[in-house]
Amino acid sequence: MGFPQKAIEAKDLWIAVLLKKASIQRNYTQLHFNRALQQEGEASFEYELAMPYGMVYFEARISHLPDNKQILGIVRDITERHKSSEIIRQHAYFDTLTLLPNRFLALDRLSQMLNEAERNNECAAVFFIDLDDFKKVNDSLGHEVGDKLLIAAANRLNSAIRKEDTVGRLGGDEFIVLIRDIKSDHDASIIADALLNIFREPLRIDGRELILTLSIGISMYPQNGDNASELLRNSDIAMYQAKALGRNAYSFFTKEMNVTMLRRFEIEEQMHGALERNEFEVYYQPLLDVKTKKIIGAEALLRWHNHSLGHITPDEFIPIAEHTGLIIPIGQFVIQQALSFLTYWQQVTQNKYVMAVNLSPSQFRDKELFNFVKNILRDENLTANSLELEITEGVLMTGQSYIAETLMQFDLLGVKLSMDDFGTGYSSLSYLRQYAFDVLKIDRSFINGITLNDEDRNLVKAAIAMAHSLGLAVVAEGVEMHGQLLLLEELGCDFAQGFYFSKPVPAEQFITLSKNYKLDEP
């Protein structure tokens, strides 16, 4: 059955109008006219025109009216609606800062990539990227500079991959790179090296040259997972391993990492509520005067026994407490317990002692730290110089102004400040000049070797002489043998602690230990 002549003529006229300035293929428009004529109904479609001032978008509706032997066409401008839809799409699927695919779109593309890899029997790789020490930039230079750094990092990552691959921003300073049709782990290593290398050149932000490094975790399809969530999780786990390797590095996911990460998740889960369940306990290790061999104080050391996991070492749970922010309430618990014990200990023995407590970098972010310590000293009726706060170089390396201010407040109050783990960092000497330290603690790694080699002995000798020239007392950590104690006395070391005197013990056991303590020397 043929179409009425007038309808055909009207159709040709409409096609001519629609195609006058448009890049629409004639058969596309013809299709919709034919559909309207065949169905004796309405057909609609959208098209665009390239105008001198930009693209204009239209919606066309074509109605066949057979009774009147007519074709009715309505065209309307939908440019604004199209722009609004694009804005909504942009916000839904793209990161507003870097304009990269956001987490939702990146994971969707990952799923598509895996489907394609499965169909074609190909391999693929997921790179989980974290910008090293990005928080320091935000804290020291401000969020505006931090945002510009994220944009620059995103652009640099994008410049290093093929068009068919994807760079996405997962949030914060975390990015994802999706590489399709990759042949081997070796190819993934080449890409990882390339990503690390492009950041060796400084990023120029507001007249500053900023060096940024990456920690990269890599998971491979299909050997490390067959779905998006599993591959993302495993690349994240591998990224933490890259951090542990010293940062500015990459690491492939292994099954052993998964075991380690599961342990980490279990510890983190059990740590929530551990204070309320009274699972933490403060132990005490004696601090002795090297000359008199008498106990003059103690160091407070936290221990944790969990009903599900058993004894968990500080090396395991302290970094996790730092990462989760739980170190703040846990640290307050330690300070409270240690100073309460110090009051009790001094009352029982009728002697004056000093209590050493470690402070972590995260605790300095607590604006109430100084007032908290000051109030406990007051409540326990303790003199400020009976408390010694041990600070590692890692605390000072952040360079934050609030750390310097807090240390100055403690110094003015009369609290003793101790540089802990001396000799393990690179800038300790400058910090000893910059801050008002009272005590220097030589790391156990040097004490272990003082009776075995000249190098360690000479280093300890030099550290003691330097500290004394600055008016600092010296504590040797990790003393385990009588020979070490004798040599430390000969070198002029002031105080010592270690298993040779006693391992850390609970409060009541420590009271018994400290009463009439006498060192059994050979």
pLDDT value, residue 81: 72
- The enclosing domain of 42 has a CATH number of 3.30.450
173-190: average pLDDT: 94
Task: Name which of 522, 473, 505 is nearest 514 in CA terms.
Answer: 505
The domain in which residue 62 lies consists of: 5-85
Sign of the alpha-carbon torsion through 116, 117, 121, 122: positive
Task: Name which of 277, 286, 274, 280 is nearest 509 in CA terms.
Answer: 286
Looking at the fold, whether 170 and 63 belong to one and the same domain comes out as: no
What letter would DSSP give residue 390?
Answer: E
Give the burial string for 500-514 (b: 16+ CB within 10 Å, else e).
bbbebbebeebbebb
- pLDDT higher than threshold 60 for residue 3: no
- For the beta carbon of residue 245, count every other beta carbon within 10 angstroms: 12
32-42: average pLDDT: 62
pLDDT value, residue 324: 85
Which residues, 6+ apart, have CB-to-CB distance to 202 below 8 Å? Answer: 209, 210, 211
Q: With beta carbons less than 8 A apart as the criterion, state whether 93 and 101 touch.
A: yes
- For the beta carbon of residue 292, count every other beta carbon within 10 angstroms: 9
334-356: average pLDDT: 96
Phi, psi of 378 (to 5 degrees): -65, -45
- The angle that helices 228-244 and 255-271 make with each other, rounded to 10 degrees, is 90
Higher-confidence position of 142 and 66: 142
Would residue 325 be called left, alpha or beta, if left means φ above 0 and alpha means ψ between -120 and 50 degrees? left
Looking at the fold, whether 274 and 172 belong to one and the same domain comes out as: no
- 48 burial level (CB within 10 Å; 0-12, 13-18, 19+): middle
pLDDT value, residue 395: 72
CA distance 94 to 137: 24
Phi, psi of 352 (to 5 degrees): -95, 135
pLDDT value, residue 141: 80
Residue 166, beta-bridge partner list: 178
Confidence of residue 403 (pLDDT cuts 50, 70, 90): confident
Copy the structure tokens of residue 79: 């440019």
87-116: average pLDDT: 85
Higher-confidence position of 350 and 90: 350
Higher-confidence position of 152 and 257: 152
| Domain boundary residue, one of 85, 118, 140 | 85
Does 259 reside within a domain? no
Does 520 reside within a domain? no
Share of the chain above pLDDT 70, in %: 85
Does 48 reside within a domain? yes
Does 229 reside within a domain? yes
Copy the structure tokens of residue 501: 């005197």
Does 516 reside within a domain? no
140-167: average pLDDT: 90
322-345: average pLDDT: 94
Which residues, 6+ apart, have CB-to-CB distance to 473 below 8 Å? Answer: 438, 439, 440, 467, 494, 495
Does 112 reside within a domain? yes
- pLDDT higher than threshold 80 for residue 35: no
Higher-confidence position of 320 and 75: 320
Distance of CA 233 to the CA centre of its chain: 15
pLDDT tens sequence across 439-481: 999 988 889 889 988 888 999 999 999 999 989 999 999 999 9
| Domain boundary residue, one of 85, 106, 139 | 85
Distance of CA 313 to the CA centre of its chain: 22
pLDDT value, residue 509: 95
Amino acid letter, 16: A
pLDDT tens sequence across 242-259: 987 888 999 999 888 878
Looking at the fold, whether 114 and 202 belong to one and the same domain comes out as: yes
pLDDT value, residue 49: 72
Residue 301, beta-bridge partner list: 283
What element of type H or E holds 303? strand 295-306
- The enclosing domain of 155 has a CATH number of 3.30.70.270
Most confident of 130-144, 194-208, 251-265, 390-404: 194-208
Looking at the fold, whether 128 and 247 belong to one and the same domain comes out as: yes
When mean pLDDT is compared across 42-51, 206-215, 294-303, the lowest value belongs to 42-51
Q: What is the mean pLDDT of the chain?
A: 85
| Domain boundary residue, one of 194, 228, 253 | 253
Share of the chain above pLDDT 90, in %: 55
Q: Alpha helix (H) ranges present in 245-303?
A: 255-271
Higher-confidence position of 33 and 57: 57
Looking at the fold, whether 391 and 468 belong to one and the same domain comes out as: yes
Does 302 reside within a domain? yes
50-62: average pLDDT: 76
Q: With beta carbons less than 8 A apart as the criterion, state whether 373 and 332 touch.
A: no
Instruction: Report the number of distinct structural domains present in the chain.
Output: 3
Looking at the fold, whether 76 and 109 belong to one and the same domain comes out as: no
CA distance 218 to 287: 46
- The enclosing domain of 314 has a CATH number of 3.20.20.450
Would residue 99 be called left, alpha or beta, if left means φ above 0 and alpha means ψ between -120 and 50 degrees? left
pLDDT value, residue 10: 47
Looking at the fold, whether 79 and 114 belong to one and the same domain comes out as: no
- pLDDT higher than threshold 50 for residue 5: no
Looking at the fold, whether 296 and 430 belong to one and the same domain comes out as: yes
Looking at the fold, whether 143 and 281 belong to one and the same domain comes out as: no
Looking at the fold, whether 416 and 469 belong to one and the same domain comes out as: yes
275-287: average pLDDT: 97
- pLDDT higher than threshold 60 for residue 2: no
What letter would DSSP give residue 278?
Answer: T
Does 413 reside within a domain? yes
Most confident of 121-125, 432-436, 452-456: 121-125
Looking at the fold, whether 309 and 405 belong to one and the same domain comes out as: yes
Looking at the fold, whether 271 and 127 belong to one and the same domain comes out as: no
